[in-house]
Structure 1
Amino acid sequence: MGKTNSIVSKRREKILEYLRVHEELSNNDLSEKLKISPLTLRRDLQALDDEGLITRFYGGAKLIDAKDTLNHKRTHNDINLQLKLNSIAKYAADLVQDGDTIFMNSSSTVLLMLKYLKNKRVNVVTNNGKALNENIDSNVELVLTGGQVYERKQSLVGDFATYILSKITADKCFLGVSGISYESGISTSVLQETLVNHEMIKRCGGPVYILADSSKVGRHHNFSSGDINEISDLITDSDIDKNEIENFQSKNVNVITINYRENSYEKFSNKIT
């Protein structure tokens, strides 16, 4: 199974490589270059489209940012990061159960969860103003906290936002962060968001999940949002330093690493010290 996933992942990377070189390619051209059937190609293109990496048109496909592609500005690292973030968000969305009420903060990674929440009755309570522009499944009930708008991120902050959160109890909490450290906990670069994030943690009756790609692990930003003992799980990518996994386990935090290349994951349960 792992070998099959690896073959699929490499084939899809090859598609992205072709599309980085050319502005766009027809399905026929891609099938010939990759020596695969049109059905297999359609599956690959659909998967890449779902991850927000390409856009499909009748008879072909192109990268989302065609100008960046033509000028060779869209790098391999950019694509890897999008794969990581979408894989993390998809795994997190799968943790949501029918009937759940969940908190989601203003993180762009957490926002990606909305496109993977399908066929579940879910109440989503968020301070992310950008959620209004997302294509949300009809079963999802979106509740904005209200409050003062922090313009740069379109997040809702302030006393009104925290007051609304204080009246809600969530089953699960999903937070994106600027940094997470086993020593100092979670942090953000926006002072105004710290109280909102911490109120979500306080008002969550179940697990608190941190969604952070590996580049944010082991880092601490200016403003603290929560202590490490308030976190139950860290969802990150498989590029995380293995020593960091052990450090978080020693603080009784579960670590789930997503292998974004092979579409698989590994869970490291916490250990009592």
Structure 2
Amino acid sequence: MKKTQGIVSKRRARILEYLNSNETISNNELAEKLNISPLTLRRDLQALDEEGLVVRHYGGAKLASSSDKYENPSSNENENNSTLLDNKHALAKYAASLINDGDTIFINSSSTALLILEYLGHKRVYVVTNNGKALHSTIGPNIDLVLTGGQVYERKQSLIGEFATYILSKITANKCFLGVSGIDCDLGISTSVLQETLVNHEMINRCGGPIYVLADSNKIGKHHNFSSGEINEISHLITDSNISDEDIEKFKEKGVTVTKVTNE
């Protein structure tokens, strides 16, 4: 029986709490304390790593906010990590509300965008993604999940390369949901992984409807090494309530509709 998202979220919050109070706790120790299997813990740590909340290392993990010297993060930092995770779920839940029965959608390798799958309920949706972690997601009974195939980029378990872009070139989606490493009014959207830029842009090109970017407010105004799309190719930005009014106006001037989602 698949665990509900509420149980998964609470378990991952407990993982963050343990990492906050234990500098060098091992994976085996952590799995034992949480009374879960090592495989479940590994999946949770992979998800938290992708969300930027933890950094994995051989045999264990640490909070991403701590330094490479394993300095103990403060309780405020741990609270911020939990808030960030809650915000990601809030963005995904809102994005899922925009999807209708019969839609074909693209979802890229983003951990935030992938959470959309867990909020689709009983909607009939055709989901095309290059996110290999989709295989471990909780999805409704009416979801048709299609992986693009392609070369596996191990760190993110994303599917990249010519095969992935070829499959995408044969599909037209109604809506596209992209997570990004950064979004800037002048420089567009960007990623830290060069190999994912072509996949992201192919999704944009093959979408006949709105292009939604899901991004925490701390990614706004940032630009990473590799560009995935121009700002005029994006129609909507879904972000948290910490976005400034000034940034909202800047995006509005570029033709991007901004939705602030409150985490309740």
Partners of 2:194 and 2:11 lie apart in 1 by 36
Equivalent position SS for 1:54: helix
Equivalent position SS for 2:99: coil
Partners of 2:176 and 2:240 lie apart in 1 by 19
Return the match for 1:118 from 116, 121, 129: 121
Return the match for 2:6 from 21, 46, 50: 50
Task: Write out the 4+ residue segments of structure 1 that deviate beyond 6 Å after TM superposition.
Answer: none
Could you say which residue in structure 2 is the equivalent of 1:223? 226
Deviation at 1:50, TM superposition (A): 2.3
1:87-236 matches, cutoff 5 A: 87-236=90-239
Is this contact kept in 2: 1:53–1:79, CA < 8 A? no
Partners of 1:84 and 1:139 lie apart in 2 by 26
Which letter maps to 2:10? I
Which letter maps to 2:134? A
Q: 1:252 to 1:68 in 2, by over 3 A?
A: same
The number of aligned residues is 209
Could you say which residue in structure 2 is the equivalent of 1:267? none
Q: 1:227 to 1:192 in 2, by over 3 A?
A: same
Bigger radius of gyration = 1
The alignment-based identity, stated in percent, is 62
Deviation at 1:55, TM superposition (A): 4.2
Partners of 2:212 and 2:19 lie apart in 1 by 34
Return the match for 1:68 from 12, 16, 19: 19
Q: TM-score with structure 1 length normalisation?
A: 0.73
Partners of 1:183 and 1:52 lie apart in 2 by 38
Deviation at 1:153, TM superposition (A): 0.5
Gaps of 5+ in 1: 1-46, 57-61, 264-273
Partners of 1:129 and 1:250 lie apart in 2 by 36
Could you say which residue in structure 2 is the equivalent of 1:42? none
Q: Deviations over 1:8-65 (max 9, x none)?
A: xxxxxxxxxxxxxxxxxxxxxxxxxxxxxxxxxxxxxxx9x62844149xxxxx8354
Partners of 1:174 and 1:243 lie apart in 2 by 24
